[in-house]
Chains A and B, each alone.
Chain A
Amino acid sequence: MKLPPSVSRTGRALLVPLTTVVIAFVVAGLVMGLTGTNPFKTYVSIFDGTGLNWLFPWVGGQTRTIASQDLQQTLVATAPLILTGLAVAFAFRAGLFNIGAQGQYTVGSVLAIWVGTSFTHMNPVLHIVASIVAAALIGGAWAALAGWLKAVVGTHEVISTIMLNWIAIWVATYLFQENGPLQGKQALGNPVSNTLPNNVHLPVFWGNPALQGLDVGIFIGLAAAVVFWAIMNRSTLGYEVRAVGHNPDAARGAGINVARNYVVTMAICGAFAGLASSVDVLGWQFQVSTADISGSQVGFLGIAVALLGRNTAIGTVAAALLFGALETGTAADNINASVINPELAPQLTLIIEGLVVLLVSTDLIAVRLLGLPRRLGLGRPEPGADLAQALEPDDAAAQAAAVEGFDAGPATTGL
């Protein structure tokens, strides 16, 4: 199926994700409507809660102050989502499905907090850098394990990354739980790590550090997106990754070492996820509790972010912003209690996120809706046209990678 030629390249790339988001919002709105909540008022309240109304010049006074704080929150939540999104997207481009961003994030948290709370005599700047680099390295190594297993013994990366998630989560829990080897000395009796000293925090450049203003982590996320783009589109490594992702046989036939490529790809993915954890730990968490470890969803959300962002750098940033904004906008203390029960609001985010993943991963739905006129006989039939042609080249690539990931084996059907 083909979109009309009048639709520009960018338009085509945007059409499917936007349709997906709109459908998700409409369905979530139906859920609200059916359960006696006004969806329109709720969405307005969510929007105001994201702080994005700060961008409107006519918003002033007290509202503007609150909006700026909300927007800072939105961006604080966006930064790690960009990074875990990139961690999943990079793998997709190589034809791999990295479900392990959560585990890579978790081992990153452990190392970030350990480095950050040890070596207290280091130069603060070096200390911060060391902590970030340590998190990225351990995340990369953790993910590379899955790539190595695939390269050497052919273990499917979906299985190995899921298992590595659990290992990471339970090892981290073991380390920080009561009487665990890394349990904090300041709060014996609580299952929590040591607390980072103030000089190992990422600097806050907008808002009040005491109120969790916006730290420079967002720049780490944005810089990582630029690095992602450059590697993917402008380096021989990215060329190889994309070749392997599209067609490992052709890549092998061209002399590309596919096995090595899997290991390198996963290592890069894990480094992104590790960076995500350092941004959280050094940006606003400052300590890690066992509840943080079991409750964190940042790595898993990265899958949704990557899928919606169509595995591109810019798409991932946009999708991360959407999810970061939703998370902040539906937070219980941001939502207007007269519109929707604040305890229910956060579930809306989960509903929308779930719908987005469902719709994007089967984005045939969106494509089919767009192709409805033709199938109803309103357009000219086009012989030989198929789904792949409905999408732009890069886009079709991402699509293929995503679909391959999902179709890769019976193991993935339960996800």
Chain B
Amino acid sequence: MLTIADRVTVLRRGRSMGTVPRSGATEQSLARMVVGRDVIFRVEKQSAKPAGPILTVEDLRVLDDRGLDAVRGATLTVRAGEIVALAGVDGNGQSELVQAITGIRPPVGGRIEVDGVDVTGRGVRAAGTAGIAHIAEDRHRIGLVLPFTLAENLALRRYRAAPLSRFGWLNPKAFFTLAKRLLGAFDVRGGDPGTPAAALSGGNQQKLCIAREIDSDPKLLVAHQPTRGLDVGAIEFVHSQLIEQRDAGKGVLLVSLESEEVRSLADRILVIYEGRIVAEFPPDASEEELGIAMTGGTVAAA
């Protein structure tokens, strides 16, 4: 934006917050206009203490909706206790890769293992059982059933098991109890267990998704653009949750288009380009290095 535009107009809640010439604008000043207060881009965290591998993806090949190659032989590993960020320009196979790992989209080749269990093409439930949780890229389309109540949304991964249901019959009380507990624990505001998810703000909707996924006590948390469209307060919450999960010894695979987010959260950065993992960087990689790798340029030493 700052390189192309001559002038920048900021919209907030349907109103123009003003127009500034590019020369006077910095990322900080624009962010302030966007959210209405100062924004801290850096995240405080301890250094990672990674253990053994939790997720192993080998030579994975996945097709997109049109049947074209989207992931063309991706290989990557996520260890317990580390945040691995997958950086890349949108549309380089990130969505298909995540869908394959989480069991939504069957791959056409390769192998996915979670803590030693082969889950390749076994479906969402098998992936969940093996310990994969998934903060979906689009909470409105995939993460939540918006007209469902908060309780129903929180039950989405486990309504088939006791105590939420027995012999195929639901137990509304258990739904309520689960929702009460999670809404409190994750500080989801703006509704009670019976409120439709559509009535919540974007940040609280995302908290709802995160509450559901984290409460399943996963081994691997796949967070796909977890802060998209969120305000700063919610972004801080999401980031702290990801770090908390890492510190609790879980593997975190963060797929993000925001290089700032990638660099501040990741313990290792993988770059995906045209369906392959083309480079690995430490978190202190420069924006230029990442940018070159993300656009397919070759980098001397990674």
Contact = CB atoms under 8 A, between A and B. Distances in A.
Interface of A: 233-239, 242-243, 246-247, 249-255, 383, 388-389, 393, 396-397, 400
A300 to B, nearest CB: 28
A345 B186 CA distance: 62
Nearest to A251: B145
Interface string B122-146: 0111001000001010000111111
14 contacts: A233-B170, A236-B169, A239-B155, A243-B145, A247-B145, A249-B141, A250-B142, A250-B144, A255-B103, A255-B124, A255-B157, A388-B198, A389-B198, A389-B199
Given A234-B170, A243-B156, A396 B145 contact: no
B34 interface: no
Given A250-B145, A252-B124, A253-B102, 19 more contacts: A234-B169, A236-B160, A236-B170, A239-B152, A239-B170, A243-B148, A243-B156, A246-B145, A246-B147, A247-B141, A247-B146, A249-B141, A249-B142, A250-B142, A253-B124, A255-B157, A393-B194, A393-B196, A396-B198
A253 B136 contact: yes
B281 interface: no
Contacts of A236: 159-160, 165, 168-170
Contacts of A249: 141-142
- Please list the 10 inter-chain residue pairs (A to B) with the smallest Cβ-Cβ separation, ordered nearest first: A255-B124, A255-B125, A393-B196, A253-B142, A254-B156, A397-B147, A246-B145, A247-B145, A246-B147, A250-B145
Contact of A235 (B124, B168, B194): B168
A235 B170 contact: yes
Interface residues of B, number: 36
Main secondary structure of the interface of A (DSSP, over half): helix
Of B125, B146, B155, B157, most A-chain CB atoms within 10 Å: B146
Contacts of B134: 253
B104 interface: yes
B149 interface: yes
A253 B170 contact: no
Contact of A400 (B147, B149, B195): B147
A238 B172 CA distance: 13
Interface string B84-101: 000000000000000000
B99 to A, nearest CB: 9
A155 B103 CA distance: 25
A239 B194 CA distance: 15
A234 B159 CA distance: 11
Contacts of A235: 168-170
A237 B170 CA distance: 9
A246 B170 CA distance: 19
Contacts of B199: 389
B143 A253 contact: yes
B164 to A, nearest CB: 9
A255 B141 contact: no
Of B102, B123, B136, B147, most A-chain CB atoms within 10 Å: B147
Nearest to B14: A383
A347 B192 CA distance: 48
A249 to B, nearest CB: 5
A321 B78 CA distance: 61
Contacts of B157: 254-255
B104 A253 contact: yes
Interface string B168-206: 111010000000000000000000001110110000000
Given A236-B168, A255-B123, A250 B156 contact: yes
Nearest to B172: A234
A340 to B, nearest CB: 44
B170 A396 contact: no
A146 to B, nearest CB: 24
Contact of B147 (A252, A253, A254, A396): A396
